[in-house]
């Protein structure tokens, strides 16, 4: 009888341990899916921001990935596609909307933050075709770079330059009136590898 009772106790303890292991595995699996899902969402929310050059107009243009097709821009004569930073596709805390405008008379393109200038002011200065490009950060954090806009007054041309750019090149070309805009996310080609760790 003692042997039978001891066997029953072992059987109950084994069943409890098995249930506990199943619970731990289930919780671990759910947490893994949540963490992977959050990381994937965060990566999907990022958008690359490129600068293109238009030789015909001596203009630089910012373009968020997916805003236009590359083939379309190349057909328009745009060249020298350069990745300048990453931004967000969606609004969120500490983010500001950035809109693209173009002036059909001067053929100038400009990206401005919401509330930087009123729509009325932009329209009065000849800019049209306002469209949302991306959401940028308003505060510096880890892996962020300050983004400035410079003006080439003689052509009414604008260029967006991250703070770590050699600005002497643009100063020699006649760009002045440096203006702070926002913060972009600075990422290099190895960033996806680090995101997986």
Q: What are the pLDDT digits (tens) for 1-15?
A: 555 566 666 666 667
Question: Each residue of 40-94: pLDDT tens digit?
Answer: 445 578 999 998 988 887 788 889 998 888 888 888 888 999 899 999 999 999 9
Range of lowest pLDDT (39-48, 123-132, 188-197): 188-197
The residue with tokens 């950060």 is 137
pLDDT value of position 36: 47
Q: How many CB atoms lie within 10 A of CB 156?
A: 17
Task: Identify the CA nearest to 154 among candidates 172, 175, 171.
Answer: 175
The whole-number pLDDT of residue 11 equals 66
Residue-level pLDDT at 127: 92
Closest CA to 87 of 152, 160, 36: 160
DSSP string, 65-126: TTSS-HHHHHHTT-EEEEEEEEEESS--TTEEEEEEEE-TTT--EEEEETTTS-HHHHHHTT
pLDDT for 151 beyond 70? yes
What is the predicted pLDDT for the residue at 190? 47
What is the enclosing helix (H) or strand (E) of 197?
none
pLDDT digits (tens, 9 = 90+) for 7-38: 666 666 667 666 666 666 656 555 555 444 44
CA 134 to chain centre: 7
Length of the chain: 197
Residue 43, pLDDT score: 56
Report pLDDT for 85. Answer: 92
Cβ burial 91-120 (10 Å sphere, 16+ → b, else e)? eeeebbebbbbbbeeeebbbbbbeebbeee
Per-residue pLDDT, 24: 65
- In this predicted structure, what is the pLDDT of residue 41? 40
Residue 160 near residue 121 (C-beta atoms within 8 A): no
pTM, two decimal places: 0.69
């Amino acid at each position: 009888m003692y042997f039978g009772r001891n066997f029953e106790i072992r059987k109950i303890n084994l069943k409890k341990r098995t249930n506990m292991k199943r619970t731990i595995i289930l919780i671990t699996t759910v947490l893994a899916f949540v963490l992977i899902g959050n990381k994937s969402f965060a990566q999907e929310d990022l958008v690359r921001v490129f600068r293109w050059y238009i030789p015909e107009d001596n203009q630089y243009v910012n373009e968020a990935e997916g805003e236009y097709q590359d083939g379309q821009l190349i057909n328009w004569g745009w060249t020298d596609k350069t990745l300048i930073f990453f931004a967000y596709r969606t609004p969120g805390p500490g983010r500001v909307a950035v809109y693209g405008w173009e002036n059909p008379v001067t053929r100038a393109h400009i990206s401005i933050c919401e509330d930087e200038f009123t729509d009325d002011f932009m329209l009065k200065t000849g800019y049209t075709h306002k469209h949302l490009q991306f959401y940028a950060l308003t505060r510096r954090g880890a892996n962020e770079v300050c983004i400035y806009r410079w003006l080439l007054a003689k052509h009414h041309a604008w260029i967006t330059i991250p703070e770590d750019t050699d600005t002497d090149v643009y100063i020699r070309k006649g760009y002045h009136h440096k203006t702070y805009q926002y913060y972009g996310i600075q990422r290099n080609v190895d960033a996806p590898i680090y995101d997986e760790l």
